[in-house]
Amino acid sequence: MSFRFNDIDHIQLAAPKGKEKEAREFFCGILRMEEIEKPVALKTNGGAWFKSGNVQIHVGIEEPFSPSKKAHPAFKIENLEGLKQHLTKHKILFIEDHLLPGANRIHIHDPFGNRIELLEWKPSR
């Protein structure tokens, strides 16, 4: 039987217990994502879910908590320069990375220290 992967349903990031407010401030307030309702059966676990377009980030509670420093999601962005200006305005630090040929990309960290890659592919010549 053959099969294939078509898309990513969601990305799970971890956060310390009781940090849902900070997650909402960052993912909704800074990254302009929309919070989506968690299924009733999962609400008791804490955390929060966010969406933008076809991208979902599920922030789950992990105890003991340890942020992902190397492992990370990478999101394709339209108008990375505009996003960099927006992040600067909100005092969100980012690291520019020019090591991937054909891509403009930066790395940021969520309020819990998880690494997130944001990239925009350069048009082909």
CATH number for position 94? 3.10.180.10
Domain membership of residue 30 (yes or no) is: yes
Distance of alpha carbon 66 from alpha carbon 29, whole angstroms: 24
pLDDT digits (tens, 9 = 90+) for 25-36: 999 999 999 999
Distance of alpha carbon 12 from alpha carbon 59, whole angstroms: 6
- Give the percent of the chain with pLDDT over 70: 98
Q: Tell whether the model's pLDDT for residue 22 goes beyond 60.
A: yes
Quick one: average pLDDT of 41-49? 95
Domain membership of residue 70 (yes or no) is: yes
DSSP-based three-state secondary structure for 83: helix
Distances (CA, A) of 55 to 41, 58, 99: 22, 10, 25
Distance of alpha carbon 12 from alpha carbon 56, whole angstroms: 9
CB-CB contact of 72 with 78 (8 Å): no
Quick one: average pLDDT of 13-37? 97
Q: Tell whether the model's pLDDT for residue 118 goes beyond 60.
A: yes
Q: Tell whether the model's pLDDT for residue 125 goes beyond 60.
A: no
Q: How many domains does the chain have?
A: 1
Quick one: average pLDDT of 21-45? 97
The domain of 18 spans 11-121
Domain membership of residue 82 (yes or no) is: yes
